[in-house]
Structure 1
Amino acid sequence: MKTSILSLALTLVFGGAVLANPIDGEKKAVKVEESTVTWKAYKVGGSHVGTIALKSGSLEFEGETLVGGEFVVDMSTINTTDLTGDYKNKLDGHLNSDDFFSTASNPTSSLVFTGVKQTGKNAYSVTGDLTIKGITKPISFDLSVYGTKATATLKVDRTNFDVKYGSGIIGTAKDKLIYDEFDLVVDLQM
């Protein structure tokens, strides 16, 4: 009887200590000013390239192993880098409009990791919830981490987020047909 009471007491004490002090991973904030997010969108007649700024972000580690992450992008910073002058201003304005990302009513987009699987020494397969225009959809991509740097390339189907301008238009000029998928190339500094 004394052994049972002692076991129960030890379980409550140590079990309570574990619940009171859970083992959390280390969150490493991303240096948003030093990190880059580059987008590339494709159309039948070519492509356009630009950048968009991170508002905040972090990667979570347990020891040296990546276990999580979350990011917020400032959608008002959409910037076309392959054009200049009026053409650049026109495209930037169009991307911010309701035809594309509706940045006035949707000022941020986000990505929250929901699963991380290590596939190599510095390589991970990541699943997450991507939110654009208030619509959240699952996404999968590969991510590499080397010391204080991390890189990933994501392929995003814009039609999943109600961005359908120029999608599958039949009978228009080839310059107007925009492919549904665009790429995001992310270089993070922590």
Structure 2
Amino acid sequence: MKNLKTIAIAILVAFSTVTATAQTKNVDVAKSTINWVGKKVTGKHEGTVNIKEGSLIFKNKKLTGGNFIVDMTSLEATDLKVGEGKEKLEGHLKSDDFFGTDKFATSKLVFKTVKPNGKNSYTVTGDLTIKSTTNPVTFTITIKGNTASTSLKIDRTKFDVKYGSGSFFDNLGDKAISDNFDLNVALQF
């Protein structure tokens, strides 16, 4: 009888210490947004690009991972109206000078490390792939309920997007385009 009690207690302890399994939450791509800002000497352009698919991974209600695929063919300039050069700018951004969306229709982000840095806030380091070139990026993401948000700055030249870069071309004058572009991401899941 004593051995039976010991076995029963051991089984209860084993079941009570089982760790929670990871929970994957798919991003609602219709309700999530990525807004971009690209700057040049004479001003800036703003726009959007759509998430094709994505998910965040949680364990014990804490963010532990994530991955996203972005539809680069959806790249749109929102600061210009039709007839103001909107089609020309969008065509140029989709061309080989910039993102080459005919060859590289998607970009990808895979979380590699996630570290809590406060309530509902995490520092994420991930592998970002644009135009088949992968580089690490680090950013802070905030989770509130079924939403997440982040802002990050990307150096486009690290992904072979060098058109108009003063870091690679001389005498650009007011035609120079900043190497960095900003992304503001709002996710719903």
Which TM-score applies when normalising by structure 1?
0.86
Q: How do 1:53-72 and structure 2 match up within 5 A?
A: 53-72=50-69
User: What is the match of residue 114 of structure 2?
Assistant: 116
Shift of 1:171: 2.5
Aligned pairs (5 A) from 1:1-190: 24-86=21-83, 87-168=85-166, 169-174=169-174, 176-190=175-189
**CA distance, structure 2, for counterparts of residue 128 and residue 67 of structure 1:** 12
Runs of 4+ in 1 over 4 A off after TM superposition: none
- Tell me, in whole angstroms, the C-alpha distance in 1 between the residues paired with 2:77 and 2:61: 36
Separation (CA, whole Å) in 2 of partners of 1:69 and 1:55: 14
Deviates more, 1:161-170 or 1:111-120: 161-170
Percent identity, aligned pairs only?
50
Tell me what 2:3 maps to: none
Number of residue-to-residue matches in the alignment:
173
Q: What letter matches 2:109 in structure 1? A: L
TM-fit CA distance, 1:22: 8.5
SS in structure 2 opposite 1:187?
strand
Distance 1:24 1:162 in 2: 39
Name the SS of the counterpart of 2:50 in structure 1.
Answer: strand
Partner deviation per Cα, 1:100-139 (whole Å, 9 max, x = no partner): 0000000000000000000011100000000000001000
* TM-score (norm: length of structure 2): 0.87
Q: What amino acid maps onto 2:188 in structure 1? A: Q
Partner-residue secondary structure (3-state), 1:85: coil
| Range moving further from structure 2, 100-109 or 21-30 | 21-30
Instruction: Identify if the C-alpha distance between structure 1 residues 22 and 109 changes in structure 2 by more than 3 Å, giving closer, same or farther.
Output: farther
Alpha-carbon distance between aligned partners in 1 of 2:19 and 2:61, rounded to the nearest angstrom: 18
Q: CA deviation at 1:66?
A: 0.3
- Unpaired runs of at least 5, structure 1: 1-9, 15-20
Contiguous gaps of at least 5 residues in structure 2:
1-6, 12-17
Partner of residue 18, structure 1: none
AA at the equivalent of 2:35 = T
Partner Cα separation in structure 2 for residue 36 and residue 182 of structure 1: 16
